[in-house]
Amino acid sequence: MYWFAFFGNSLILRRKGDAYEVPQGDVPPTPTQEWTTIQVLPDLEGVPCRAYTLLAPPREGLAEGLTTMELRTSYNVLPHPLHNMAGKAAELIYWDSNTRYCGHCGAPMERSTDISKRCTNCGKEVWPQVAPAIIVRILKKAVTDADGNTIEPEKILLVHARNFRHADRYGLVAGFVETGETLEQCVEREVMEETHLRITNLRYFGSQPWPYPSGIMIGFTADYDSGELHLQDEELSRGGWFDRDHLPQIPDKMSIARRLIDDWLDTRK
Ligand SMILES: [Zn+2]
């Protein structure tokens, strides 16, 4: 059995030389408390998976060979299916700890299935909620003269949001989907709000669970249509058009932002 044990944002892993593994065994890799809820996850290639979180590090410390690593960082050391399952575990734990009481009548909630709860008083049911957010790669076509010579190469719009964890890093326009809007409307609204640009040729690219704490990123590609770039000062501090040979620091490999950018870099024309 795999154990996805958390302490805060960190995952407890077993260190073997330079490698890291998700702890396996019949019992949890750390002591648990009587109030610790063990979450039941789907099997991974036939191996049962469980998850739990500790409110504080074990008083006696972690057992020999165990260490902690931020969930995001664990992307770099775990096989993708295990990292994805760790993300699912983190989302379930977050949901569990935020739905102890009924939002309708305030009575305690009790587990109905592995991924649902029912109010002990009014019967209201809740499931884990996923917050969708869009992210979009916007390209500006190359400018050529009458003879077909490139005057300006194709460029990508990159922005630095004030809430980025890295001061020098640039990413793509992104934002949460609001109630009552389609994903396409959300992309157009976010692009307009953040950059004052109009886009065209909006296409779906792919998606990625984003368990920080419980989102999904839905990636799109689009082309610049019209407008002058004016950044929304509240959310973005810097941004601009960059060609392939003059890129600033871009996001980590783990993100769909990076996949969108790499996809463009791979199609150099
Ligand atoms: Zn209730």
- Shared domain for 190 and 249, answered yes or no, is yes
- 72 shares a domain with 107: no
Residue at a domain's end among 97, 112, 142: 97
pLDDT tens across 228-249, in order?
999 887 777 789 999 999 999 9
- Does 164 lie in the same domain as 219? yes
Model confidence pLDDT, tens digit, residues 59-101: 788 889 999 999 999 999 999 999 999 999 999 999 999 999 9
- Looking up residue 23, the CATH number of its domain turns out to be 3.90.79
* Same domain assignment for residues 121 and 40: no
Domain check: are 7 and 87 in the same one?
yes
Q: What is the pLDDT of residues 170-208, one digit of tens each?
A: 999 999 999 999 999 999 999 999 999 999 999 999 999
**Same domain for 54 and 69:** yes
**What pLDDT was estimated at residue 93?**
95
Q: How far is the CA of 130 from the centre of ligand 1 (A)?
A: 21
Write down which residue in 110, 128, 146 finishes a domain.
Answer: 128
Mean pLDDT of 18-28: 96
Q: What is the 3-state secondary structure (H, E, C) of 210-251?
A: ECCCCEEEEEEEEEEEECCCCCCCCCEEEEEEEEHHHCCECC
Residues 36 and 104 in one domain: no
- Please tell me the total count of domains within the chain: 3
Distance in Å, CA 219 to ligand 1 centroid: 36
**CA 127 / ligand 1 centre spacing (Å):** 14
Range of the domain at 106: 99-128
Neighbours of ion ligand 1 (CB under 5 A): 102, 104-105, 107, 119, 121-122, 124
- State what percent of residues in the chain have pLDDT above 90: 81
**From ligand 1's centre to the CA of 101, what distance in Å?**
8
What confidence tier does 269 reach under pLDDT thresholds 50, 70, 90? low
Give distance in angstroms: CA of 216 to centre of ligand 1.
28
**Per-residue pLDDT averaged across 35-41, rounded?**
92
Give the residue from 100, 63, 88, 98 showing the smallest Cα distance to 4: 88
The answer to whether residues 122 and 150 belong to one domain is no
How would you classify the pairing of strands 155-161 and 131-140? Answer: antiparallel
Distance of CA 126 from the midpoint of ligand 1 (Å) = 10
Burial of 16 (0-12, 13-18, 19+ CB in 10 A): exposed
